[in-house]
Structure 1
Amino acid sequence: MEITGPLESQQFSPQEPGQADIDEYRRLSAEQAAGVGVVSTVWRKRDYAATVSAYLSVSYDPPTMLVSLYEGSRIAQAVAASGQWALTLLAAGQRRQANWLASPGAPIEGLLSQVPFRRGPATGCAVLDGGLAYFELATTAVHEEATHLLVIGQVVSMGSATVRQPAMSPLLHYAGDYRSIQPQ
C-alpha cells in the first residue's frame, strides 16, 4: 500500500527525546479518542482512586484487562501494592467526577466523599454509581515502562451499576478535553 500526499515527519532518538518531541507526541496522541474510567483500590484501609483513559481489554478468555498508571502517582503505588483494583467506565454525565479524581492536588482523606459510589462485591474497591460498567480485577502482572506502570489484572467480578438507556453515551477524552458521542 502506498501513502500519497504530504507526510510530515519528526524523527528523534527514542532514548533521548527533547521537550519539543514530548510536546509533539502529546499533541499527536491526543488525536485518538479514548474512553474515560476511574481506577480504584483499597490499600492500608484507605481508598485510592484516579481518572484514567489508558486502559484496554487484553483477553476475553480469561477476561483480562490492562491499565497504564503514572509510576510516581499515589494510585499506581496503591494498585501495585494492593493486588486488586476496580475500573468503572464513566458515562458522559460524569465529567465532574472525572475532573475531581484527575486533580493532582486531590486530598487522600475524603477523596471519595464527593463521589457517589458503592463497594464492589469481590474486592471492596469503590465502584462509581452511574458508570456504564465496572470490572473488579486481581493483579496478575505489573510491568514498568518508561514513566508508567502497566498493571494487568484478571476480572473477578463485573457488571453495570446503572440501567442502560438508549441516550447514554460514554465519557471520552479527545484533544485534551472530555467529550461525548452525539446521538444521530
Structure 2
Amino acid sequence: METPGNLEAHRVDGSRPSDAAVDLYRRLSADIAAGVGVVSSTLRNRDYAATVTGFLSVSYDPPTMLVSLYAESRIGEAVEEAGVWALSLLSGKHQGAANWLASPGTPLQGLLAQVPFRRGPATGSAILDGALAYFELRTVSVHQAATHLIIVGEVLSMGTDAAPAEAPDPLIHFGSSYRRLAP
C-alpha cells in the first residue's frame, strides 16, 4: 500500500512513475547534501557555464571525474560537443555567481560578464576566481541517463585559487537551498 511518504518509483511492469512519486523524489533528493560547482566550456568562441551539484571524483589514477548535466541544456550540448570543460568548486563567497548561473533563461551573450574568471591553461574554459578547487577535463565518455548526460572526464589540469582562509567555507546545496559550513 502506498502512502504519500512511501511511493514506488517504477511499477513492476516498467510503467512510468506517478506524478506523486516524481514530486516525492524531488523533495527527498533535495536532502542530499552536495558541493556546488560551476561547469564551463567554450564552443565556437562562446562561453557556456552552469551551476551544478551533480559531480563526483571517480578515480585517482588516472584522475577522473564525472558531471551530470541536463541533456537538452546549452551547457550539456556545449560540453558534449567541445570535448573539454572545467569544473570550479565554489566557496560561500560565490553564492551570487551560483544563483546567476543556475537561473533559467540566462542570456547567451555576456553570460560570464558579471562573474570574475580566468581562462584555464589546458582547455581555455572559464575558471571562477577564488575557486576552492578547479579541474580542467577532457571528455572520455558520455552516457545518457534518463533526462541527463553523465559526462566522464580525465583531468588535464587542476589547482586552487582560494585564499587559505576560504578553504573551510565550501558552498553546499541542501534542502533546496545553498548553505555554508562557516558561520
TM-score, normalization: structure 2? 0.92
Partner of 1:79: 79
Partner of 1:47: 47
Deviation at residue 175 of structure 1 after TM alignment: 0.6
CA distance in 1, matches of 2:118, 2:168: 21
CA distance in 1, matches of 2:164, 2:22: 39
Task: Tell me the amino acid that sits aligned with residue 74 of structure 2.
Answer: R
CA distance in 1, matches of 2:20, 2:177: 21
Conserved 8 A contact 1:140-1:154:
yes
Deviation at residue 12 of structure 1 after TM alignment: 3.8
Please list every run of 5 or more consecutive structure 2 residues that lacks an aligned counterpart in the other structure: none
Conserved 8 A contact 1:143-1:151:
yes
Conserved 8 A contact 1:92-1:168:
no
Task: Tell me the amino acid that sits aligned with residue 63 of structure 1.
Answer: P
Task: Tell me the amino acid that sits aligned with residue 165 of structure 2.
Answer: Q
Task: Find runs of 4+ consecutive structure 1 residues off by over 4 angstroms.
Answer: none
Partner of 2:163: 163
3-state SS of the aligned residue for 1:169? Answer: coil
Conserved 8 A contact 1:132-1:164:
no
CA distance in 2, matches of 1:52, 1:113: 19
CA distance in 2, matches of 1:86, 1:26: 27
3-state SS of the aligned residue for 1:144? Answer: strand
Instruction: Give the stretch that moved more between structures: 63-72 or 166-175.
Output: 166-175
Deviation at residue 13 of structure 1 after TM alignment: 1.7
Conserved 8 A contact 2:91-2:166:
no
Deviation at residue 130 of structure 1 after TM alignment: 1.3
3-state SS of the aligned residue for 2:164? Answer: coil
CA distance in 1, matches of 2:45, 2:166: 38
CA distance in 1, matches of 2:71, 2:165: 37
> In structure 2, do the counterparts of structure 1 residues 91 and 9 end up closer, same or farther at CA, with 3 Å as the change threshold?
same
Please list every run of 5 or more consecutive structure 1 residues that lacks an aligned counterpart in the other structure: 1-7
CA distance in 1, matches of 2:67, 2:87: 9
Deviation at residue 32 of structure 1 after TM alignment: 1.1
3-state SS of the aligned residue for 1:165? Answer: helix
> In structure 2, do the counterparts of structure 1 residues 44 and 77 end up closer, same or farther at CA, with 3 Å as the change threshold?
same
Tell me the number of residue pairs that the alignment of Structure 1 and Structure 2 aligns. 176
Partner of 2:88: 88
Deviation at residue 167 of structure 1 after TM alignment: 6.7
Aligned Cα root-mean-square deviation (Å):
1.3
CA distance in 1, matches of 2:162, 2:110: 24
